Amino acid sequence: MSSVRRPKPPIAPASVFAPDGRRRWWHYTYRCSACGSYHFARTRTLENVVGVRRAPCGHVLSVLAARVYTGPEAS
């Protein structure tokens, strides 16, 4: 049986926004490197932002937290 190597998914750098005010989730946006469209997502923790996932457009991407924006209370 031959082993098939799958290529690594393309990296999608994301802008991550910390919870602020009444908003309790981390929000992040990223651009799909396959089709060029921008996507919005959210998660409960910062650690869940990074990883391999399927974007809403159907492409598999490796999301990387490139920029993390925090509120004034974090400074």
CB 41 within 8 A of CB 50: no
Alpha-carbon torsion, ordered 74, 43, 52, 66, to 10 deg: -30
Residue extents of the structural domains in the chain: 11-70
Predicted confidence at residue 1, as pLDDT, reads 62
The encoded tokens of residue 21 equal 């005010």
CB 9 within 8 A of CB 52: yes
The encoded tokens of residue 12 equal 């999608």
Model confidence pLDDT, tens digit, residues 8-61: 999 999 999 999 888 899 999 999 988 999 999 999 999 999 999 999 999 999
pTM of the model: 0.82
